[in-house]
Amino acid sequence: MANTSDCRTPCPNEITRALLGSTAKSAGYPLPFKATVALGYAWQIQPDTGNVFFHSGIDLLAATGTQVHAVDAVTMAVAGFQGNYGNLVVVNHQGGWQSRYAQLNSVGVTVGQKVKKGELLGTIGSTGKPTLSKPHLHFEVRYSSSLDWVTEDILVFGCSDEG
């Protein structure tokens, strides 16, 4: 099991590498500051119930209303309420990659809309059925495979001096 008390802050280049490959340096970061990862990508124990579950992204802590930005120039695939994800924005990137921004307080984009890197997608909240009681961004990276969209652990890429 992952130890959720081992919070850390991902470098912006970790997200870049997850979305665009190990040599890419052009993507951005989804928040205006480096945020602490309160819950990582791994099997977890739900604090309220004790049930084991798989957490398919990372939860970045930030205050309600903090702006969430596009990490790259993208086209919106989903924008709106989606069950446990709450208010969700899903964007498709070139090369069969996808990023998901979930449990948003507000969504500021529409399906089909094109946005540039750094543009506003929505704001931090805790909608849907969040695992954490604190406001946060649930951020996922997925890639297309013959099995459908598969989640990727963005924190495996590590930090380096350029991040």
What is the reported pTM?
A: 0.75
Q: Where is mean pLDDT largest: 14-23, 40-49, 88-97? A: 88-97
Domains in the chain and their CATH numbers?
12-154 (2.70.70.10)
How much is the average pLDDT of 96-105? 89
If you write DSSP's letter for every residue of the chain in order, what string do you get? Answer: ---TT--B---HHHHHHHHH-TT------SSSS---EEE-SEEEE-TTT--EEEE-SEEEE--TT-EEE-SSSEEEEEEEE-GGG-EEEEEEETTTEEEEEEEEEEE---TT-EE-TT-EEEEEB--SS-S-SS-EEEEEEEEEETTEEEEE-GGGG---TT-
For residues 31 and 118, the answer to whether their CB atoms sit within 8 Å is no
Residue corresponding to tokens 């819950």: 39
- So what's the pLDDT on residue 134? 87
